[in-house]
């Protein structure tokens, strides 16, 4: 996730910007830059890599003199990590400099429009479009230009803007991406996260969507897009810096769980345009798609669990046979693959050693590789034939949550895209799936609003010795993820079983008080699941059920139910996973575990 900081005051801006960016490093980034108004010109310095590279380049800020500036740490989404793609991005004459968090969804059409008007672009970023549009629509009044640009861009944005025609003003705008204005004495700030400015001020104003802050040394005025003044009430920040880094949450995992509605929305919405799934990034033709006889999915850990869900969904929608394998097994089992096979590789980090080796093995055998990756420019992304990025932003907690959810979101997009190319969907089905997909972020939000119920249940059960997760089909795939999440952060022994398999051995482990989490979201398998619930209850199990809110038949059959909103069957995993993540989190928290860095685990497993 990118970071923004901006300064206007009486001190030198560059060192303050660098110091603010340092406080945002924990969020993850791949390049950094600053722009400072320096004697009539906007000077930009930016570099790929660590902030230290930029610092050395401008000698801690001494090389760029000026008291107005903006800075940025970039996490690549559009265009690989590079000096050119780093922010700030400038307009063609260098008059405007812009830093941006978020995604401009319609940047391609805007870019084409400007190019037809003769505007030359330097970078691959969506952000450059904003800088170029500002100059294009600027006729002497910067606020007018900002308002005009906002009427053209679609997507999410936190923007910091400076212009060489106005050395006394910093502009800031937001929509669906956080941005605060920091209030000082004779100086003011902007920041995407409070830690960036906490050393200099504890008084802030939070911008709301479509608000434009016009920030001068002596004061701040906030306007709406009609240029009407919006009164703002300052807020005093009393948190310490480490709580502030986590946005006020106790752990990054909690923060990342709560970020899921946004992460899923960011991943889905830019790819649904005019009622169609648009996967600009992939080059597969309909003929190539029709030629695939099988799909293989390879991944590790939670990404593998996404693969297990994907198998059910892809087979259901495309009717193409799908095999799913953990990468460490796949790479050594001489898989039978050739050019008629599409290999789907899933990885948050894009650097997992086993997954990368599996990818290379697949390519060696002639298969076409499509990867779903979170880290832009990572090894897996670079070596794949096609990449679909999950726009989850950096994930810091070892236990994946938002990356998992966005991988699943991409699987839905891909399944619809492939099924359509294969002629497997009627227009009505296609439209229904898109409607369901677009509704997911709001439904996830609704589940998160009820997190206290899961917290309560966790408080009653955090001392459990063994916890079993059971489900059928998609619910079995979810059981696997629920169980992994719990064991990796709480150190409680846990396993996932296909509910129908219990009686073939596992049920002998169930005794008085054993905790069983029963996923029963799939209508057509509900009665079968309830039979399995009866089996474990008859042996003394305590059962937590997860069911869909309009199916109350589960009541009385389990000891506690957590309801999720209704969605079409194939999309229920996106909802069912949320209570499982919350349960793992609260159990681990009540046990006092090191949630963000569980013992023996690393975020990215780059060794075999």
Q: Which residues are catalytic?
A: 2, 603
- Report, in Å, the least distance between residue 598 CB and ligand M6R: 8
- 297 vs 307: CA distance, rounded Å: 6
Of residues 475 and 488, the one with the C-beta less far from ligand M6R: 488
Note the Cα 475 to chain centre separation in Å. Answer: 23
Q: Minimum Å distance from CB 126 to ligand M6R? A: 25
Cβ(354)–Cβ(331) below 8 Å: yes
Between 109 and 606, name the residue whose CB sits nearer to ligand M6R.
Answer: 606
Least Cβ distance, residue 488 to ligand M6R (angstroms): 6
Q: Which residue has the tokens 């898989």?
A: 335
Strand partners, 469: 496, 517
Give the C-alpha separation, 186 to 171, whole Å. Answer: 17
Question: Smallest distance from the beta carbon of 425 to ligand M6R, in angstroms?
Answer: 29
Closest distance to ligand M6R from the beta carbon of 355 (Å) = 5
Angle, vertex CA 595, rays to CA 591 and CA 601, nearest 5: 120
Residue number, 563 or 583, with CB nearest to ligand M6R: 583
Nearer to ligand M6R, 104 or 359 (CB): 359
Give the dihedral sign, CA 456/458/460/462: negative
Q: For strand 68-74 and strand 31-38, is the pairing parallel, antiparallel, or unpaired?
A: antiparallel
Q: Which is nearer to ligand M6R, 269 or 355 (CB)?
A: 355
- From the CB of residue 563, how many other CB atoms can be counted at a distance below 10 Å? 20
516: Cα within 13 Å, side-chain hemisphere? 34
Tokens of 190: 């902007």
* H/E stretch holding 446: helix 427-449
Residue 461's φ and ψ, nearest 5 degrees, are: -130, 10
For residue 575, give the nearest of 519, 496, 517, 516 by alpha carbon. Answer: 519
Q: State which H helix or E strand residue 7 sits in.
A: strand 3-8
Nearer to ligand M6R, 153 or 303 (CB): 303
Query: Residue with CB nearest ligand M6R?
Result: 301
* Beta carbon nearer to ligand M6R, 174 or 251: 251
Torsion (CA) 486, 488, 491, 492 in degrees, nearest 10 = 30
Supply the minimum distance, in Å, between the C-beta of residue 146 and ligand M6R.
39
In the complex, which residues of this chain contact ligand M6R (CB under 6 A)? 300-303, 347-349, 352, 355, 398-400, 484, 488, 604-605
Nearer to ligand M6R, 537 or 603 (CB): 603
CB of 398 to ligand M6R, least distance (A): 5
Find the farthest-apart pair of alpha carbons in the chain and give their distance in angstroms, rounded: 80
CB of residue 546 to ligand M6R, shortest distance in Å: 19
DSSP 332-400: TS-----TTEEEEEEESSS--HHHHHHHHHHHHTT-EEEEEESSTT-HHHHHSSEEEE-------SSS-
């Amino acid at each position: 996730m990118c970071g923004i900081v901006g300064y206007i005051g009486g001190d030198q801006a560059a060192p303050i910007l660098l110091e603010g960016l340092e406080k945002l490093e924990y969020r993850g980034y791949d390049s950094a830059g600053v722009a400072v108004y320096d004697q009539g010109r906007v000077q930009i310095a930016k570099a790929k890599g660590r902030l230290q590279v930029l610092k050395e380049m401008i000698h801690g800020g001494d090389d760029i003199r000026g008291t107005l500036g903006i800075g940025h740490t970039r996490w690549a989404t559009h265009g690989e990590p590079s000096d050119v793609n780093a922010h700030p991005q400038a307009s063609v004459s260098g008059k405007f400099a812009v830093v941006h968090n978020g995604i401009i969804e319609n940047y391609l059409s805007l870019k084409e429009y400007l190019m037809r008007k003769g505007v030359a672009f330097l970078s691959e970023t969506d952000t450059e479009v904003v800088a170029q549009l500002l100059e294009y629509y600027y006729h002497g009044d910067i606020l007018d230009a900002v308002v005009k640009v906002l009427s053209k861009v679609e997507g999410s944005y936190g923007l910091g803007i400076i212009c060489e025609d106005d050395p006394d003003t910093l502009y800031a705008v937001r929509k669906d991406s956080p941005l605060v204005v920091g209030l000082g004495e004779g100086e003011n700030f902007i920041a995407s996260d409070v830690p960036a400015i906490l050393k200099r001020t504890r008084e802030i104003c939070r911008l709301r969507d479509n608000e434009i802050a016009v920030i001068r040394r002596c004061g701040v005025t906030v306007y709406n897009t009609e240029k009407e003044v919006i009164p703002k009430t300052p807020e005093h920040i009393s948190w310490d810096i480490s709580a502030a880094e986590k946005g006020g949450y106790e752990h990054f995992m909690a923060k990342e769980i709560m970020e899921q509605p946004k992460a899923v929305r960011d991943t889905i919405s830019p790819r649904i345009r005019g009622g169609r799934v648009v996967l600009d990034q992939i080059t597969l033709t309909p003929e190539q798609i029709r030629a695939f006889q099988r799909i293989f999915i390879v991944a590790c850990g939670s990404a593998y669990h996404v693969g297990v869900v994907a198998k059910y969904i892809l087979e259901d929608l495309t009717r193409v046979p799908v095999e799913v394998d953990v990468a460490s097994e796949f790479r050594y089992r001489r898989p039978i693959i050739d050019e008629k096979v599409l290999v789907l590789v899933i990885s948050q980090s894009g650097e997992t050693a086993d997954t990368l080796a599996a990818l290379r093995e697949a390519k060696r055998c002639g298969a076409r590789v499509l990867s779903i990756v979170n880290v832009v420019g990572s090894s897996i992304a670079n070596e794949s034939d096609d990449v679909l990025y999950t726009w989850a932003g950096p994930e810091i907690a070892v236990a994946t949550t938002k990356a998992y959810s966005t991988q699943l979101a991409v699987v839905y997009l891909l399944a619809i895209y492939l099924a359509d190319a294969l002629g497997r969907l009627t227009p009505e089905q296609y439209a229904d799936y898109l409607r369901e997909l677009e509704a997911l972020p709001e439904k996830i939000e609704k589940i998160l609003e009820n997190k206290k119920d899961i917290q309560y249940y966790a408080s009653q059960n955090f001392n459990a010795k063994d916890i079993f997760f059971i489900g059928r089909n998609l619910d079995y795939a979810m059981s696997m993820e629920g169980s992994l999440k719990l064991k990796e952060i709480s150190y409680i022994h846990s396993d996932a079983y296909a509910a129908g398999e219990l009686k073939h051995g596992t049920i002998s482990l169930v005794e008085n008080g054993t905790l069983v989490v029963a996923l029963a979201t799939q209508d057509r398998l509900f009665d079968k699941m309830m039979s399995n619930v009866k089996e474990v209850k008859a042996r003394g199990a305590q059962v937590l059920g997860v069911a869909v809110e309009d199916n109350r038949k589960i009541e009385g059959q389990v000891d506690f139910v957590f309801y999720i909103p209704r969605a079409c069957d194939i999309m229920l995993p996106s909802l069912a996973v949320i209570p499982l993540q919350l349960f793992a989190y609260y159990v681990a928290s009540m046990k006092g575990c090191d949630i963000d860095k569980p013992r023996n685990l690393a975020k990215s497993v780059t060794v075999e």
